[in-house]
C-alpha cells in the first residue's frame, strides 16, 4: 500500500469516528445543532482531506469546506454535493461552538443526509 493511500485511509477512519459521534448524538433531543454540526463538519473536513491525500492533491491547513471542495473540483474530481452545501457547514467549525445565540437554518435530517452522502462518496474515492 502506498503512503498516500495509507494516510487517506487514516483520515477516513478519523472522519468515521466523528461521524459515529454525530450518529450517537442525532437521536438525543438535548443534542444541540452546534454539537451535531461540529461533528458533521469535522467528519466532512477529514473526509475531503482523505480524498485530496489519495489523489495527491496538496491542501493548506484549513477548516473551510468550500475551499477544500473547490480544490477537489479544480483537480477534476466531482463532488457528491455542491460547494454551497459544503459552505453551509463552515460555521460549525468555530462560530456555532462559541456563540450561543447563533442559529442554523439546517435541519438535523439535512445534516445527516449531507454527511452520509459525503462519507459514502469518500469511501469510493479512497478505496478505488
CATH of the domain at 71: 1.20.120.330
- Which residue numbers in the chain have pLDDT < 70? 1, 95-103, 128
Q: What is the pTM of this model?
A: 0.92
Q: Which pLDDT does position 93 carry in this prediction? A: 84
The whole domain housing 101 covers 3-126
Structural domains of the chain, count: 1
Burial 83-99 (b: 16+ CB within 10 A, else e): bebbebbbbbbeebbee
Query: What 3-state class would DSSP assign to 48?
Result: helix
Q: Which pLDDT does position 53 carry in this prediction? A: 94
Amino acid at each position: 500500500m502506498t503512503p498516500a493511500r495509507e494516510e487517506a485511509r487514516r483520515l477516513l477512519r478519523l472522519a468515521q469516528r466523528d461521524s459515529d459521534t454525530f450518529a450517537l448524538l442525532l437521536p438525543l433531543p438535548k443534542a444541540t445543532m452546534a454539537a451535531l454540526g461540529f461533528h458533521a463538519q469535522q467528519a466532512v473536513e477529514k473526509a475531503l482531506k482523505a480524498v485530496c491525500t489519495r489523489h495527491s492533491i496538496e491542501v493548506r491547513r484549513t477548516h473551510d469546506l468550500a475551499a477544500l471542495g473547490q480544490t477537489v473540483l479544480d483537480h477534476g474530481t466531482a463532488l457528491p454535493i455542491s460547494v454551497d452545501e459544503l459552505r453551509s457547514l463552515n460555521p460549525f467549525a468555530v462560530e456555532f461552538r462559541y456563540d450561543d445565540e447563533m442559529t442554523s437554518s439546517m435541519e438535523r435530517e439535512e445534516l445527516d443526509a449531507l454527511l452520509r452522502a459525503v462519507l459514502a462518496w469518500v469511501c469510493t474515492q479512497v478505496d478505488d
